[in-house]
Structure 1
């Protein structure tokens, strides 16, 4: 019974897309979320000017060292096209692309949840607006049935005129 309550509470979370929630989980998987946050941090880092600057400095230093250093201590020869540097950059690119795609997929899922919440909020606002419009119309209709200030004044004048009239009739008698 307690497990069913725990799993239903997990399903009510707003940070996971509605379509990806499951009603049955075996202990949850916090490491998957941790890995997703890690991929987002890496993707966010790779998208900064500092990363590009650092990578450029790394490549320039690599090329300068392997070109200007004595041949005995070089580890990547310029004559064969900096093979080790090419392999390192290819490896970095082969890991960067999937990490960026994973981060992008997580962002798409969050966007989907946000769009659904915005749609629901807009629907509630529309319903509230329609309700208020109906209330205003009903108040206007009710106000038509109420006596206006001018109507009340006219009625009071008529009553005063009637009250004054019998006094004149009394004087004649």
Structure 2
């Protein structure tokens, strides 16, 4: 005989019952297919053909007319169809609204990221402009070098005048005449001292 464990007998078994579960996504996908089909011209065409054939067979007076003139069975069929069609269409609309909400949230998140990126790039661009504002341009540097060259030319002219003045003073002290005066060059100034 089999040995039973007392704790196994005291606890109920889980999963032994089969429960019928509705998968919302599967039912929702089916509802969307039905709702899309109800909104097509093909559905209206086939429903019209069905109604015309139904009425023709029941009014024709044949022996098998199963639904006489008030067409109670046809009305019952349409009532049943409407009873299922309305909730299926509402379910499809709810699923579409959920998808739209997710799309709107994703668009909003993307827009916030784009705005943050744009603001960051604007700050970076402003920083680059400020940094470039402190840099020297080619035209500004050229202008400053021309001013510096003019200043150096004036200093050189003053130095030349000063050197000529000293040479003239020396010649006067030694008794030589002004005929020995010549334009000094930079090398002459270095030789005199």
TM over 0.5: yes
Structure 1 counterpart of 2:139: 150
CA distance in 2, matches of 1:149, 1:30: 77
RMSD: 1.7
Structure 2 counterpart of 1:6: none
TM (norm. structure 1) is 0.75
CA distance in 1, matches of 2:53, 2:152: 111
CA distance in 2, matches of 1:94, 1:171: 115
Structure 2 counterpart of 1:40: 32
Residue pairs, 1:135-146, within 5 angstroms:
135-146=124-135
CA distance in 1, matches of 2:61, 2:50: 16
Structure 2 counterpart of 1:18: none
Counterpart selection for 2:106 from 117, 129, 142: 117
Question: Which one has a bigger Cα radius of gyration?
Answer: 2
Give SS of 2:23's match. helix
CA distance in 2, matches of 1:82, 1:167: 122
Structure 2 counterpart of 1:23: none
CA distance in 2, matches of 1:30, 1:115: 28
Give SS of 2:67's match. coil
CA distance in 2, matches of 1:132, 1:163: 46
CA displacement, residues 95-130 of structure 1 (integer Å, 9 cap, x when unaligned): 000000111111111111111111100100110111
Per chain length, whose mean CA-contact separation is higher, i.e. which structure has more relative contact order (CA < 8 Å, sep 6+)?
1
Tell me if 1:73 matches 2:67.
Answer: no
Stretches of 4+ moved more than 6 A in 1?
A: none
Counterpart selection for 1:102 from 91, 95, 98: 91
Structure 1 counterpart of 2:117: 128
- Report deviation, 1:31: 3.0
Give SS of 2:65's match. coil
CA displacement, residues 50-103 of structure 1 (integer Å, 9 cap, x when unaligned): 111211111111111111141x1111111xx01110000110000000000111
Structure 2 counterpart of 1:9: none
